[in-house]
A and B are shown apart, each in its own frame.
Chain A
């Protein structure tokens, strides 16, 4: 009589096989710890801090409950105008990125030779490898009074805008452009060639083709890109500091209060979150998010 073959001992697998719930917990433990323990908790702490007081004498935070920090955002004119200005800058940056990304995307996807396309793809992504501060300072040097821009434009009698809101918008657009250009390029590349042929057959020239065919089809990609350009611009303050002249953004207020009045800084950091949520709700209404 042959010995009965023993099943291989795999206690962990056996245990898990019988208990799908434990399996699920084991699978999700790590990401959930991170999501809740680090991400959600810190956001919640931020919100709670925004409701606290500050001791004006020592600037130490005192737990309590007040809505003053939020009310101030609306009632202090400087706070409100800064919030509105930041929103306008973020929208302008997004618009500039869209305006540049669509023609570039069409050219890269449908017109350029492969080697030109590869070259452009590298050119778009390469700045992502450079440090954020390096890019900021590069823009700063470009737009100084005796910088590259004025030197190039001098023969045409044009002088640069100087540091202020326009250069801030340009700089942020430069910083976040890859996040818009890549999804738009990918989306346009996926449009079948024959759609362009059909459009031409139906008598549409360049502009109608772009507006009535390309644009509706790549809207999800634009929304995806704009979530990056919009939200990253809302939170930025170093651009305003380095190329903004006397421009103040939401981030500037947070930065100047973070040590001295954390509740005000916390209340203000809710403003970009509110803007982004509103933006996502609007984007959802248009139905673009489902097609992403």
Chain B
């Protein structure tokens, strides 16, 4: 399986193509509002309002930043990607640590601005290759986001019950699963992509090329699979604590998980694996609001948090693979962290499809059909759970 590295084959003529509404073969052009890019840095505004995931903004690295720049950081923790999008659209925040399923929505909605990478010197070669130029934050050749870190949606299993590592996701999808009734799945519309990843492998006739570019037929097939799964689901999870207690308490034997949740569960018999079909994953990225009055502080923050030590501290605090892999070689602890979260293992990430907002323009480059939007996915998700 290959991820489409669409953007860095630099679409130099992207803006012209966007205007004429046509795409060169194999290259993807999306219609996005024209938001101006910052050309030079100015004086710090003294304030920075961030919407972020829990653990991304911590006094340990905020205080030195404020001391250096005078930008006072106000953090608002969001619980879901949808909440992040809603908060950013209020216009009250300057910066967001969005996952790919929120990022593309914000970009095509004109809520965030393209970034001038020359003003972010710390975005360098040390950023993991697999986090550069992904469709969710680089559109039409313009970068909108600076990567923070990533995590894969892995198959977690209770080894005491399963005996060995399941090789396929079929244990969570097929009606004859030996663990029926003790299966957990992620409770969000974006989980439809996981069904699509499974179908890509097992139903090639559906011709799904990208799990985030589903036409109506393909979405219907994914929804059918999810409905089939609904009958054998023990419970859906969106709250990490509920997922951990579910595995530890024995209610769940197999299901979607993150490496960090396994770590928190702290049970030797709970293991994670990446099955043959591959999986999805969340890639978090800093995006700057298109209406921010504090863009200098925002640029300074992105640059500051992109250096190895700060980026690594965020990654370790949250429990994910850091974007800046130079951090890994710092000491034995950081190397152990990077190894556990596969930070430097691009072969691993090649099997992971980064969360991307599904939009009507197919992100796999098809132009002859209309793809289903995230709105369609949300409506479909409700019908899955009946």
Question: Are chains A and B native binding partners rather than an unrelated pairing?
Answer: yes
The CA-CA distance from A23 to B122 in the complex, in Å, is 68
**Which residues of chain B from 258 to 293 have a CB within 8 Å of any chain A CB?**
none
Q: Look across to chain A and name the residue whose beta carbon is closest to the beta carbon of B242.
A: A242
Do A256 and B108 form a contact, CB below 8 Å, given A57-B360, A145-B249, A244-B235? no
Give how many A residues have a beta carbon under 8 Å from the other chain's beta carbons: 36
**Contact between B249 and A147, CB atoms less than 8 A apart:** yes
Q: Within the assembled complex, what's the spacing in Å between the Cα atoms of A14 and B242? A: 64
Bound form: Cα–Cα A252–B233 in Å: 17
Is A162 in contact with B378, judged by CB distance below 8 angstroms? Answer: no
| Min CB–CB distance B195 → chain A (angstroms) | 15
Chain A 250-262 interface 0/1 with B at a Cβ cutoff of 8 Å (1 = within) = 0011001111110
Which one of A2-10, A76-84, A111-119, A123-131 is at the interface? A76-84
Q: Is B109 an interface residue (CB 8 A)?
A: yes
Q: For chain B, residues 208 to 245, give those with C-beta under 8 angstroms from any C-beta of chain A.
A: 230, 233-236, 238-239, 241-242, 245
Contact check, A54 vs B83: say whether CB atoms are below 8 A apart: no
Contacts of B83 in A (CB 8 A): 259
B367 to chain A, nearest CB (A): 17
The residues of B that contact A137 with a CB separation of less than 8 Å are 241
Chain B residues with CB below 8 A from A241, complex form: 187, 238-239, 242
Identify which of A141, A244, A256, A264 contacts B249 (C-beta below 8 A): A141
A152 nearest CB across to chain B (Å): 15
B contact residues around A81 at 8 Å (CB): 386
Residue among B82, B239, B373, B374 facing the most chain A CB atoms (10 A cut-off): B82
Across the interface, do B250 and A144 meet the contact criterion of CB distance under 8 Å?
yes
Interface centre among A147, A245, A253 (most CB of B within 10 A): A245
Partner of B234, one of A59, A76, A163, A257: A163
Interface contact A145-B251, CB-CB below 8 Å: yes
Digitize B100-120: 1 where CB-to-A-CB distance is under 8 Å, 0 elsewhere.
000001001110000000000
* A35→B373 CA distance, assembly (Å): 40
* Count of CB-CB pairs between chains A and B under 8 Å: 95
Contact with B along A133-156 (1 / 0, CB 8 A): 000010011001111000000000
Cβ distance A254 to chain B, nearest Cβ, rounded Å: 10
Contacts of B189 in A (CB 8 A): 256
Q: Is the CB of A57 within 8 A of B359?
A: yes
Q: Is the interface of A mostly helix, strand, loop or mixed?
A: loop
Chain A residues with Cβ below 8 Å from B385 are: 78, 246, 248, 252
Q: List, in ascending order, chain A residues with CB within 8 A of B383's CB.
A: 76-78
Q: Which chain A residues border B373 with CB–CB below 8 Å? A: 56-57
In the complex, the chain B residue whose C-beta lies closest to that of A150 is: B250
Bound state CA distance, A82 and B385, in angstroms?
Answer: 9
B residues in contact with A244, CB < 8 Å: 235
Contact of B245 with A141 in the complex, beta carbons under 8 Å: yes
Q: Chain A residues near B382 (CB, 8 Å)?
A: 78-79, 82, 248, 253, 256-257
Tell me if B70 counts as interface (CB < 8 A to partner A): no
Q: How far is the CA of A253 from the CA of B181 in the complex (A)?
A: 23
Residues of B within 8 A of A79 (CB): 382
Give the docked Cα–Cα distance between A163 and B234 (Å). Answer: 7
Q: Identify which of A59, A252, A258 contacts B374 (C-beta below 8 A).
A: A59
CB-nearest residue of chain B to A85: B386
B residues in contact with A264, CB < 8 Å: 379
Residues in B neighbouring A248, C-beta threshold 8 A: 382, 385-386
Nearest A residue to B83, CB-CB: A259
A58 located at the interface, meaning its Cβ lies under 8 Å from any Cβ of chain B in the complex? yes
In contact, B249 and A58 (Cβ under 8 angstroms) = no
Contact A145 B250 (CB under 8 A): yes
* Chain A, Cβ-Cβ closest to B188: A256
Q: Does B366 contact A (CB under 8 A)?
A: no
A260 touches which one: B187, B234, B238, B375 (CB < 8 A)?
B375
Interface string of B354-373 (1 = CB under 8 A from A): 00000110000000000001
Known: A58-B110, A59-B374. 9 other contacts (CB 8 A): A56-B360, A59-B85, A77-B383, A78-B386, A82-B386, A241-B238, A241-B242, A248-B386, A256-B378
Q: Which residues of B contact A (CB under 8 A)?
A: 80, 82-83, 85-86, 89, 105, 108-110, 181, 187, 189, 230, 233-236, 238-239, 241-242, 245-246, 249-251, 359-360, 373-376, 378-379, 381-386
Q: Measuring CB to CB, which residues of chain A are less than 8 angstroms from any residue of chain B? A: 54, 56-60, 76-79, 81-82, 137, 140-141, 144-147, 162-163, 241-242, 244-246, 248, 252-253, 256-261, 264
User: Which 5 A-B pairs give the minimum distances between C-beta atoms?
Assistant: A144-B249, A145-B250, A259-B82, A78-B383, A58-B109
**Can you show 7 pairs from A to B with CB atoms below 8 A apart?**
A60-B89, A77-B383, A79-B382, A82-B386, A257-B382, A259-B85, A261-B379
